[in-house]
């Protein structure tokens, strides 16, 4: 690899807080193999997953450093493998600088996004593919250069900036999977979707649902955020701080009181009971995270609630490369642009960006410019 391909890179040296993040300068870039692409990462974006990686307690087993589930209730849990000294970061967008001899999908100069699960190409997530997450078991995107197998990259939508495109790999693909990932049960015009809060997945779900002709009901913590959700196309904004039975309220607003067709569930045990209350018979609750609670927290309504309600409950972990490509086609066709937070961080400000996300001070995705 030419000597000029050296750059800055963050590593996770300890998992006891953001002080365990260390920025290294003048890091040499690994040599690329036949199917690899060297990517100059222009912009990366943050997810709650990145905060989980920085906070977890670890134990070692075989070739991986595995994550224990001893996390605070507020920060959920991270159940996937993780290597020691990993470069953090799940999402990134950049420019290909060099390619291996067998690369066929890209050329130098191609603008690309990374995929979170590098080996999840299509179909169901396998145990093997689950062990190929950027910023977890593989080095991630909070660096200036990264080397990725060509199968772990997708072409960036042409109408988006690097800042906008960097937000897609986790939150947008998750939202797409939640609404379109179950064969024969994809979102259609006229459906009603319930979203929770104003995090990245929820905002993408709102945009995708509105563009598809669905009606969106969104929960929020304040009138001000409710107005911003309505600007994105939300028809009904429910303040969950004022309405503890917001699930019943959402049900009454949808399909003549029968309930919503989709719930994009991000809260976990603290919100699941209300989500079950809101969904209609044969409706879908897509569980995409547990921001408000740890796995197994008391208050989880349990699987029998799905039987009693005659609904479908599915858990999902982001999505495949094929789903990412489907998403990108939809973004281009419908001219959808991601909601990016007003404050943009530099690579050296990563700890501050983590704290900003942890405190939920953002509306829209938080991005980090790497150069």
Q: Give 13-24 pLDDT, tens digit per residue.
A: 887 778 889 999
Half-sphere exposure of 352 (CA within 13 A, CB side): 8
Q: How many helices (H) and strands (E) does the chain have?
A: 11, 17
pLDDT in tens, 119-159: 999 999 999 999 999 999 999 999 999 999 999 999 999 99
Parse the chain into domains and list their residue ranges: 6-170+319-369, 182-315
Average pLDDT over residues 210-238: 97
Confidence (pLDDT) at 299 = 63
The token duo for 209 is 């649902």
According to CATH, the superfamily of the domain at 6-170+319-369 is Medium-chain alcohol dehydrogenases, catalytic domain (3.90.180.10)
Strand, coil or helix: what is 199? coil
For strands 145-149 and 215-220, give the pairing: unpaired
State how far the alpha carbon of 106 is from the alpha carbons of 2, 35, 148, 168, in Å: 20, 10, 12, 19
Q: Which residues contact 237 (CB under 8 A, 6 or more apart)?
A: 217, 218, 219, 220, 225, 226, 227, 229, 230
Whether 146 contacts 96, CB under 8 Å:
no
Task: Give the DSSP letter string of 330-352.
Answer: HHHHHT----EEEEEEEGGGHHH
Quickly count: other Cβ atoms within 10 Å of residue 182's Cβ.
16
Assigned fold of 182-315:
Rossmann fold (3.40.50)
pLDDT in tens, 301-345: 888 899 999 999 999 999 999 999 999 999 999 999 999 999 999
Residue 36 to residues 101, 108, 150, 262, 322, Cα–Cα distance (Å): 8, 12, 6, 39, 19
Residues 230 and 217 sit within 8 Å (Cβ to Cβ): no
- Asked if residues 210 and 204 have their Cβ atoms less than 8 Å apart, the reply is no
Judged against a pLDDT cut of 60, whether residue 356 lies above it is answered with yes
What is the mean pLDDT of the segment spanning 77-86? 71
Task: Report the C-alpha dihedral over residues 367, 368, 369, 371, rounded to 10 degrees.
Answer: -170
DSSP string spanning 240-263? TTT-TTHHHHHHHHSGGGT-EEEE
What is residue 301's predicted lDDT score, i.e. its pLDDT?
A: 82
Average pLDDT, stretch 57-73? Answer: 34
Lowest mean pLDDT segment, chosen from 55-59, 295-299, 345-349: 55-59
Residues in the chain: 371
Q: How does pLDDT run across 167-213, given as a tens digit for each residue?
A: 999 999 999 999 999 999 999 999 999 999 999 999 999 999 999 99
Give me the chain's average pLDDT, please.
90
Task: Identify the three-state secondary structure at position 93.
Answer: strand
For 182-191, the CB contacts below 8 A with 24+ separation are 182/284, 182/312, 182/314, 185/284, 185/312, 187/212, 187/214, 187/261, 187/262, 188/212, 188/213, 188/214, 189/213, 189/214, 190/214, 190/215, 191/215, 191/261, 191/262
Question: Does residue 47 sit in helix, strand or coil?
Answer: coil
């Amino acid at each position: 690899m030419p000597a000029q391909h050296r750059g800055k890179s963050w590593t996770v040296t300890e998992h006891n807080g953001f002080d365990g993040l260390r920025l290294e300068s003048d890091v040499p870039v690994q040599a690329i193999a036949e199917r690899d692409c060297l990517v100059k990462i222009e912009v990366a974006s943050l997810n709650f997953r990145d905060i989980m990686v920085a906070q977890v307690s670890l134990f070692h087993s075989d070739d991986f450093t595995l994550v224990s589930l001893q996390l605070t209730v507020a920060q959920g849990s991270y159940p996937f493998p993780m290597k020691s000294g990993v470069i953090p970061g799940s999402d990134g967008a950049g420019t290909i600088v060099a390619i291996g001899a067998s690369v066929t999908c890209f050329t130098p100069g191609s603008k690309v996004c990374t995929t979170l699960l590098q080996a999840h190409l299509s179909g169901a997530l396998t145990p093997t593919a689950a062990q190929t997450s950027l910023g977890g078991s593989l080095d991630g995107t909070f660096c200036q250069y990264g080397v990725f197998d060509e199968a772990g990259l997708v072409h960036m939508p042409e109408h988006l900036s690097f800042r906008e495109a960097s937000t897609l790999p986790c939150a947008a693909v998750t939202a797409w999977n939640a609404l379109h990932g179950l064969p024969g049960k994809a979102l259609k015009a006229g459906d009603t979707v319930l979203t929770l809060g104003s995090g990245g997945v929820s905002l993408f779900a709102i945009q995708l649902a509105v563009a598809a002709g669905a009606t969106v009901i969104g929960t929020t913590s304040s009138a001000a955020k409710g107005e911003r959700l309505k600007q994105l196309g939300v028809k009904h904004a429910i303040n969950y701080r004022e309405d503890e039975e917001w699930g019943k309220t959402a049900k009454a607003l949808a399909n003549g009181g029968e309930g919503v067709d989709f719930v994009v569930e991000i809260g976990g045990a603290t919100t699941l009971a209300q989500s079950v209350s809101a969904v209609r018979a044969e409706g879908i609750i897509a569980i995409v995270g547990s921001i408000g609670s740890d796995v197994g927290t008391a208050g989880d309504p349990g699987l029998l609630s799905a039987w009693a309600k005659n609904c479908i409950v599915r858990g999902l972990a982001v999505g495949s490369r094929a789903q990412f490509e489907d998403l990108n086609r939809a973004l281009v066709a419908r001219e959808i642009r991601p909601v990016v937070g007003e404050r943009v961080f530099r690579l050296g400000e990563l700890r501050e960006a983590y704290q900003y996300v942890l405190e939920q001070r953002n509306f829209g995705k938080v991005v980090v410019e790497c150069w």
